[in-house]
Amino acid sequence: MSTDVMTNANARTKTRTKVRMMAQTGMLGAIATVLMLFEIPLPFAPAFYQIDFSEVPVLVGCFAMGPLAGAAIEFIKILLNFAINGTITAGVGEAANFLIGCALVVPAGLIYKRKRSRTRAIAGMVSGTVIMTAIGCFLNAYILLPAYAKAFEMPIDALVGMGNAVNASITDLFTFVMFAVAPFNLLKGVLVSMIVLLIYKKISPVFKMNEG
């Protein structure tokens, strides 16, 4: 009888945990969507590259609940933003942004999951920032920029010209990626990581996580 009681108690605990994780995932996805609406232009990149801090709640969720939860929060963020603002790239830009966001949070979450410590968190965020920058450069060069050029019915050279107007070092697609896209993703990764590093310890009790 006691075994049945323990089994039922464990089942109820697992159910409550799943429900709590689903609620937290949805909440963080909604917060990320709101943050995505507030964009800051950068002096070294054309106007359509604006930084936001929507990856902060995504990375928080990734550390608190694991990499899969982080990817789910990122997906919810992209889906809600798509529903609110629509798309000009037939979903191509949204898919690429999802992959770029996951490139930051998933590696960070995987590294942190193995040992929950400040050192592992920093190592994870550094790794995620580097991976995001590399993947961001590739996706921008071969998917995002061509998609934007098609959406706005202009040649790639016109986008390069917009980059050259704010950064004389940008003269072709390669230098556009090197001097606009790469710094953009590096800066975003560093800023998001710094914010998460500052706030995670303080808010982690909300997620009932014990830090190591």
Q: Is the per-residue pLDDT at 211 higher than 50?
A: no
C-alpha dihedral, 191 to 158 to 135 to 175, nearest 10°: -80
Query: Mean pLDDT over residues 3-16, rounded?
Result: 60
Q: Which residues of 128-150 are buried (b: 16+ CB within 10 A; e: fewer)?
A: bbbbbbebbbbbbbebbbbbbbe
The lowest-confidence range among 80-84, 86-90, 168-172, 187-191 is 86-90
Between 91 and 17, the more confident residue is: 91
Q: Is the per-residue pLDDT at 15 higher than 90?
A: no
Residue with tokens 């920029």: 145
Q: Name residues whose C-beta falls within 8 Å of residue 179's C-beta, 6 or more positions apart in sequence.
A: 44, 163, 167, 169, 170
Tens digits of residue pLDDT in 74-90 = 999 999 999 988 887 77
Tell me the C-alpha distance between 55 and 192, whole Å.
Answer: 7
Between 18 and 167, the more confident residue is: 167
175 confidence band (pLDDT: 50, 70, 90): very high
Angle at 64 between CA 50 and CA 197, to 5 degrees: 55
pLDDT at 1: 47
- For the record, the structure tokens of 50 come out as 């604006």
Tens digits of residue pLDDT in 17-62 = 778 888 999 999 999 999 999 999 998 988 888 999 999 999 999 9
In the three-class reduction of DSSP (H, G, I as helix; E, B as strand; rest coil), residue 41 is classed as strand
Q: Is the per-residue pLDDT at 167 higher than 60?
A: yes
pLDDT at 9: 52
Query: Mean pLDDT over residues 106-121, rounded?
Result: 92
Is 132 in contact with 189 (CB distance < 8 Å)?
yes
Q: Is the per-residue pLDDT at 212 higher than 90?
A: no
User: Is the whole model's pTM more than 0.75, yes or no?
Assistant: yes
Tens digits of residue pLDDT in 122-157 = 999 999 999 999 999 999 999 888 888 888 888 999
β-bridge partners, 127:
none
Is 94 in contact with 87 (CB distance < 8 Å)?
yes
Residue 180: name the closest of 143, 150, 136 by CA: 136
Q: Tell me what the pLDDT averaged over the chain comes to.
A: 88
